[in-house]
Amino acid sequence: MYAVVRSGSRQYRAEEGQTILVERLPEEVGQQVELNEVLLVADGDKVMVGRPTVEGASVRATVVAQEKGPKIRIFKYRPRKRYRRRAGHRQQYTRLHVDEIVV
């Protein structure tokens, strides 16, 4: 059984017992999280597609860690103008352990 959930602006495929990496959530490590925006639930041949979400479905997960992604370097410059800008960015993520999918 798996579900497709929306967290933030992205969609993730969640299976029971699996860990997923989502955009940062304001929860502490060890807290339970309930993701209510379930777009699809599939159990073998039985598939429920939401319009836009599946009514009454949710995914319960536990926060395992708060992490940072790899550093991305941003460099802008204009030729012959002595214009150079360097910056960096590290996206923050939350690692979730999917406990159960409730339909």
For residues 32 and 44, what is the distance between their CA atoms, to the nearest angstrom? Answer: 27
Q: What is the pLDDT of residues 9-51, one digit of tens each?
A: 999 999 999 999 999 999 999 999 999 999 999 998 999 999 9
Q: What is the mean pLDDT of the chain?
A: 95
For residues 99 and 91, what is the distance between their CA atoms, to the nearest angstrom? Answer: 25
What residue segments make up the domains of the chain, in order of their start? Answer: 2-102
Q: What is the pLDDT of residues 42-94, one digit of tens each?
A: 998 999 999 999 999 999 999 999 999 999 999 999 999 999 999 999 999 99
Q: Look at residue 89 in the predicted model and tell me its pLDDT.
A: 98
Q: Look at residue 75 in the predicted model and tell me its pLDDT.
A: 98
Give the contacts of 74 (CB within 8 A, at least 6 positions apart).
85, 86, 87, 88, 89
